[in-house]
Structure 1
Amino acid sequence: MITPFGKKDEDLHSIVALYCKTFIGDTYTSQDFESAANNINKHTSYGGFKGLKAKDENGTLLGFTYGYTSLPGQFYREKLAAQLTDLQQINWLNDCFEFVELAVETKVRRMGVGRKLHDRLLSKINYDTSVLTTSVENNPAINLYISKGWEVIKENAAVISMDDVQVIMGKRIYR
């Protein structure tokens, strides 16, 4: 079952734990958890926030996704803009939804949970474009997004640092 989530959600602890496990690894610390929780909570207050969670019939969290309106002045938006040409910024960031996170429990990966979360989230937005970043080494994610109509805007983008280069991808939203 896929349902919305937001600030102070009953499953927020599970969402943060899945985030940490997915993006940091099983050895994440309590400090990692607290930082992720603060970040996700901050994002839930951004304009245009949309969050979805997938749970099984027993109420166990299987995955989540979220994003929000991309606006000048936001930390990540400015980092993205710095990696793009002026024309790319106009084409991709003017009326844009930042597809921020998509995480799925390891035991149910490649079973359609991520695809369903992706599709449902994008069906609930009203923007011209959406952008995302993922690690250049995350081939499963890159392949998923390409299969869903995303295109590579820039490869090897040092969005945050040269130590963790990203692929910036974009998708035109046809309303």
Structure 2
Amino acid sequence: MFKLREINKDKELLNQVADLYQQVWAQEDLSIKERVTRHAGYADYRGFVAISNQGEIAGYAYGYSSLPGQYYHGLLSEALNPEEEQTWLTDCFEFVELGVLPAFRNQGLAKELVNHLLDGAGHKTAVLTTQLDNDSARGLYETLGWRVIKQPFYPNENGQPYVIMGKQLR
């Protein structure tokens, strides 16, 4: 039903991912295009879009190696104790974004994107964060073998609690 296409550094696809991000999260974020493009240059970047039979980009997922010096890696390192940091952030794939348009949800697309993204990641572990109260995302990740590492986690000043989840990949 959906064709998965690798994003690589395709400027047009990166712009479409940024536009889709804003649609999925119902927010206008002028920095998202720059952030999506910058992330595509990170070590071991992997990203995919799902294209519907009608040619519409229905969803996306991407991530990269989580390395010292990266903004979010620093936040995760501060939130975890030394043992957790060693276990989860050494040889780690950071699963950064997943988004599926509402019209394409509940069709297995998110699961397909997550699995496809992680299948070739080549890391020992993967980590992600999601909103603490995002029951649908947490449920999806738990059915795919992710587990809670830390909650609550506060990645920014807005005070919204998140959860850090991890998955052993090998």
CA–CA distance in 2 between the matches of 1:42 and 1:95?
21
CA–CA distance in 1 between the matches of 2:31 and 2:4?
26
CA–CA distance in 1 between the matches of 2:55 and 2:154?
38
* Percent of pairs with identical residues: 35
C-alpha RMSD of matched pairs (Å)? 1.2
Deviations 1:53-84 (A, max 9, x none): 00012210010000000001110000011110
Deviations 1:72-102 (A, max 9, x none): 1110000011110000000000110000000
Specify the alignment match of 2:94 in structure 1. Answer: 98
Structure 1 position 131 matched with structure 2 position 127: yes
Tell me how far 1:133 sits from its aligned partner: 0.1
Tell me how far 1:14 sits from its aligned partner: 2.3
SS of 1:99 mapped into structure 2: strand
Tell me how far 1:160 sits from its aligned partner: 2.2
Q: What code does the residue aligned with 2:164 have?
A: I
Within the candidate set 3, 6, 22, 1:4 is matched to 6
Unaligned runs of 5+ in 2: none
Tell me how far 1:22 sits from its aligned partner: 2.0
Deviations 1:109-143 (A, max 9, x none): 11111010000001011010000000011110000
Specify the alignment match of 2:16 in structure 1. Answer: 14
Q: TM-score, normalised by structure 1?
A: 0.92
Within the candidate set 64, 75, 81, 1:79 is matched to 75
SS of 2:117 mapped into structure 1: helix
Tell me how far 1:41 sits from its aligned partner: 0.3
CA–CA distance in 2 between the matches of 1:164 and 1:19?
19
How many residues end up aligned between the 2 structures? 168
Where do residues 5-44 of structure 1 align in structure 2 (5 Å cutoff)?
Answer: 5-23=7-25, 25=26, 28-29=27-28, 32=29, 34-44=30-40
Q: TM-score, normalised by structure 2?
A: 0.95
Where do residues 96-175 of structure 1 align in structure 2 (5 Å cutoff)?
Answer: 96-161=92-157, 163-174=159-170
